[in-house]
Amino acid sequence: MSIDDAVERLSDDKDDHNRWVGVYIGILAVLLAICSMGGGNAAKDASRAHIEAANTWAFFQAKNIRRNAISIHIDDMELMLATQPAMPPAARATVQAKIKDYRAEYERLTKDPEKGEGLDQLSAKAKAWEMERDIAIRKDPYFDWAEAMLQIAIVLASVHLIIGNTALLGLSGGLGAFGLILMLNGFTLLVRLPFLG
């Protein structure tokens, strides 16, 4: 084998190696795009759920204020019946009927299974929105760190192509793998890392 053949073979091996590193960089870029999408969705989900929870709690508070006002009316009417024993029977019957109507309204404001807008249902809905928000907030840091790891892995692999330092390619592989694990955990939340929230 001549020196020219050996140089050509070495050059072909290096070109093959560089092609595979290019494919590796492409895979990292695809993972980075998926990670970016996951992080963006987590942030949007957190915002949407937070707004829905706030709106539901505002509706809850409005209904609770109304329910409290009705409770005060019931107390006032019962006090009126107790302090006015000489009230004409027709007026007493009217006040008792109104108390009954108010009690029914009080119960409807507390539990409204038909519309699902009683205080009990609204409280459960708001808590469900808060839980969804909290899960999305917990996911977001995993995506942020995964994006950083994948971006650094891409840069290190690119630098390897320029200077040929194999240690940089190894470090890129480690960071890329760690970024992939963080990204998968961002989607699934299988493992909770204390330093990431």
Q: What is the pLDDT of residues 25-57, one digit of tens each?
A: 999 999 999 999 999 999 999 999 999 999 999
pLDDT at 28: 97
φ, ψ of residue 164 in degrees (nearest 5):
75, 20
Are residues 132 and 45 in contact, defined by beta-carbon separation less than 8 angstroms? yes
Looking at residue 11, its pLDDT comes to 55
pTM for the structure as a whole: 0.76
pLDDT at 196: 74
Position 89 scores a pLDDT of 92
**Tally of CB atoms within 10 A around 40:** 12
Query: What is the C-alpha to C-alpha distance for residues 196 and 193, in angstroms, rounded to an integer?
Result: 6
pLDDT the model gives residue 112: 87
Low-confidence ranges of the chain (pLDDT < 50): 6-7, 10
- Give residue 3's pLDDT: 57
Dihedral class, residue 45 (left if φ above 0, else alpha if ψ from -120 to 50, else beta): alpha
